[in-house]
Structure 1
Amino acid sequence: MSDESKTNQHPLAGYQWVVFGSDWGRHPSSSQHLFSEFLGFSPVLWVETVGMRVPQWTMRDLRRSIQKIVDFVSGRRRRIAAVTNGLTVICPPTLPFTRIKFIRLVNIWIVRRSVQKAVRRLQFKKHMLVVSTPSQGDYVGRLGEEKSIYYCADQYALWPGMNQQHIAEMERNLIERVNAVVAVSDVLADQFKRAGKPVYTLSQGVNPAHFSRAQQQRFAGRFEIVYFGMIDERLDLDLIMEVAQQLPKAVIRLIGPVTVPLDKFDGVANIHVEPPKPYDELPESLNTASLFIIPFELSELACSCSPLKIKEYLACSRSVVSTALPEARRLSQFVHVAKDRRAFVEAVVAAGEGKLTLDMPAVQRFIESETWRAKALEFTEFVKGLRA
């Protein structure tokens, strides 16, 4: 049997995907991980659009705006991933001011024209449309798709800096338009079930082979506590300070983009804030880690999310201590869940004393069953039912 015949018979073959998401490869998101699994089996047209938040006069937003302009004018995004292993990336020049009706109409015209041109070039006949944020609802039903799915990874109306009423209105409009919803947690899925559309919970996946590169622990002569991910409003900064005070000889590494003031950490010698690491380089930077933590406040925003990092932490073969997030409680067989701040600090101290146990074989079996390939296969089963 030829390689082409084997590919055509693969469970992930036979689809044509048009997916709206964030910049491909910039910060790998759940949707990027998921649809990466289809590459080589089914073609993916990835459409980059602007975010939902109105840009502010900050250096961070200014750099992102300039990068977007450069990407479009130079065609750099298209060169990065143009028909590579079945992936095509386009970056229509849209504007983020979605509260202005005229701008939304202009965005619809630009995106529709760009996607239709790419679809013709790729010879798509019956493509599936997947959108990942409420602001992309304007495009549903306008791109000639066979079926449409809202892949929801967060409660976007609660994000800091968002106009909650506006985002909620866009999401209601989106739910009316799509054929189905796929959410990464039961908490998120439950809020859509009243709409009468098919709703499916597809939990986060993980790439065990990628994070296994962090498994060979290098002893750094100190107890090293690590958090990687967004350093934002969800983090309990006072809890991190308390851990630092209780374990003055330990080092706490916070790795990731910072969106909140961290003044209270000034002068705290054992808290190190590090810039985000590229995904490909992240595992090697974790070789000296002794323990991973998820010190989230139990806010509505934090409790509605399903942190991608939980399974990535476990794939590094280290103990994990988390506040009592619903997703952490769901995985309490593998994650040490603290009911309050005192219990969190006590668990971290216990880990520093070598008293926190981890059933490594059980963790490894669990992680091997939660790969992104397994999630992609699960996703296709849902799509088959939707198409039928």
Structure 2
Amino acid sequence: MGVGGEEKRYAFVVFSDDWGRHASSCQHLFERIGGEHRVLWVNTIGLRGVKADGFTFFRGMEKIRSWLKPMKKVGEDFYIFSPVMLPVFGEGWIAKIHRRLVGVEIRRAMRRMGMEGAILWTTVPTAVDFVGRLGERGVVYYVTDDYHLWPGGDAAKIVRADRELTEKSDLIFACSEVLEDTHRNEKAKTVLLPHGVDFEHFSTLKPEPEELRAIPRPRICFFGLIYEKIDLALLREFALVRPGVQMVMIGPIGTDVSRLEGLANVHFLGAKSYAELPAYLQGMDCFIVPYVSDEETKASGPLKIRECLAVGKPVVARAIPNLEGFGDVVELYGRSEDFVGAVDRALGDGRVEERRERVRGETWESRVETIMRALTEVMGKGC
């Protein structure tokens, strides 16, 4: 019996972030879908523009290395494909030639896997360039962000691609109600698909890493990409007002953090693997999700909220529409000036089991069941 109860298998061509680079929601889903269905995962170019900085340089080198070995098997009937892709899309002649060449390479990879009538699944709107070119049986758009609001991207082109892909999709999954509302159309079935959580991974107790033992308590923690959407000014203010509280930052740095460097109670530990992460998180006393308040964050559905709750420690987060339903177990703040008080209250909240129980049933497996039911309804059974 397949994932979600389907006996017959589907074939998927997936356009998304680079496989294995970070634990995205799409990767969590296809780690489970891929065990029962055929998957060709296409590593794509991001939506942000190219910048002359160290972060972009190292990402570029990662891409070039992946192009040297474009086809990689990661499971039975599960391959990662890294075609040479440039940051061009749309209607220009260079984009058209590029689209044709990449399309040929993807179709060749599909033939190697014996794929016919695959489902084109994408998390990136620019994959609209390949709709109708791969012999797909249908199109699924998995919307996890308001992409045109990402910093550094060509907003006008992304808006057009997003609108066109929405119109051409047969099935749309959205991680938040805001995104669900903005991606409805008469043709496609639209389904709310909140992020899930690997509950056992985050709730199982693990030994404290040696690296944490030198950091006094209490410890508050942010984990994830440290970039423009994190309110670093707010974190600096907190660190100065509460010098006895240690702020632990876990994740890659993608922006200027000089305002926090040098503060005695701020600790940058760098990126940790998905396997390492639970041990670090269990050594914290409170988690913080201090996004800036803008249109992008208001439409988002933070993946890490359920992971924090599975650990069982208190959580303080910027109040956004998608988190309103967690108000009973997450300390939400609307104004920046309320952040310090929210953290103070959270540090005294010992409801570990209540927080864990809140997300125990919201697993990635349950989300895959939702996906398979919707696919069967819209596209019929697998091949």
Aligned counterpart, 2:203: 212
Which residues in structure 2 correspond to 1:187-206 (within 5 Å)?
A: 187-194=178-185, 196-206=187-197
Identity of aligned residues (%): 31
Structure 2 CA distance for partners of 1:348 and 1:216, relative to 1, 3 Å:
farther
* 1:374, distance to aligned residue in structure 2 (A): 0.6
Aligned counterpart, 2:6: 11
SS at 1:278 equivalent: coil
Aligned counterpart, 2:110: 119
Which residues in structure 2 correspond to 1:289-368 (within 5 Å)?
A: 289-352=284-347, 354=348, 356-358=349-351, 360-368=352-360
Q: Is residue 16–residue 122 contact of structure 2 (8 Å, CA) maintained in 1?
A: yes
* 1:43, distance to aligned residue in structure 2 (A): 1.4
Structure 2 CA distance for partners of 1:56 and 1:99, relative to 1, 3 Å:
farther
In 2, the alpha carbon distance for the partners of 1:125 and 1:341 equals: 52
Which residue identity is paired with 1:375? R
Please list the CA deviations of residues 104-136 of structure 1 after superposition, one character each: whole Å capped at 9, or x if unmatched.
223322232222222222222332110111111
Aligned counterpart, 2:71: 78
TM-score, with length taken from structure 1: 0.90
Give the unaligned 5+ runs of structure 2. Answer: none
Matched, 1:98 2:93: no
In 1, the alpha carbon distance for the partners of 2:194 and 2:368 equals: 11
Aligned counterpart, 2:132: 141
In 2, the alpha carbon distance for the partners of 1:29 and 1:103 equals: 30
In 2, the alpha carbon distance for the partners of 1:141 and 1:280 equals: 38
Structure 2 CA distance for partners of 1:13 and 1:244, relative to 1, 3 Å:
farther
Please list the CA deviations of residues 298-329 of structure 1 after superposition, one character each: whole Å capped at 9, or x if unmatched.
21111111000000111111111112122222
Which residue identity is paired with 1:382? A
Q: Is residue 182–residue 200 contact of structure 1 (8 Å, CA) maintained in 2?
A: yes
Please list the CA deviations of residues 172-191 of structure 1 after superposition, one character each: whole Å capped at 9, or x if unmatched.
22223222221110111111
Which residue identity is paired with 1:224? R
Give the unaligned 5+ runs of structure 1. Answer: 1-5
Aligned counterpart, 1:3: none
Please list the CA deviations of residues 137-166 of structure 1 after superposition, one character each: whole Å capped at 9, or x if unmatched.
101111111110111110110001112112
Question: How well do the aligned residues superpose, as a CA RMSD in angstroms?
Answer: 2.2
Query: In the alignment, which of 27, 30, 33 is matched to residue 32 of structure 1?
Result: 27
Please list the CA deviations of residues 219-256 of structure 1 after superposition, one character each: whole Å capped at 9, or x if unmatched.
86410000001212222222212321232111101112
* 1:66, distance to aligned residue in structure 2 (A): 2.3
Query: In the alignment, which of 359, 366, 383 is matched to residue 375 of structure 2?
Result: 383
In 2, the alpha carbon distance for the partners of 1:142 and 1:214 equals: 48
More displaced stretch, 238-247 vs 98-107: 98-107
In 1, the alpha carbon distance for the partners of 2:18 and 2:8 equals: 24
TM-score, with length taken from structure 2: 0.91
* 1:206, distance to aligned residue in structure 2 (A): 0.7
In 1, the alpha carbon distance for the partners of 2:205 and 2:123 equals: 30
* 1:203, distance to aligned residue in structure 2 (A): 0.3
In 2, the alpha carbon distance for the partners of 1:112 and 1:296 equals: 37
Number of aligned positions between the proteins: 376
In 2, the alpha carbon distance for the partners of 1:85 and 1:78 equals: 14
* 1:85, distance to aligned residue in structure 2 (A): 3.0
SS at 1:52 equivalent: coil
Which residue identity is paired with 1:78? M
More displaced stretch, 30-39 vs 50-59: 50-59
In 2, the alpha carbon distance for the partners of 1:224 and 1:237 equals: 17
More displaced stretch, 372-381 vs 186-195: 186-195
More displaced stretch, 112-121 vs 32-41: 112-121
Q: Is residue 2–residue 9 contact of structure 2 (8 Å, CA) maintained in 1?
A: no
Structure 2 CA distance for partners of 1:45 and 1:222, relative to 1, 3 Å:
same
In 1, the alpha carbon distance for the partners of 2:95 and 2:272 equals: 35
* 1:351, distance to aligned residue in structure 2 (A): 3.3
Q: Is residue 141–residue 177 contact of structure 1 (8 Å, CA) maintained in 2?
A: no
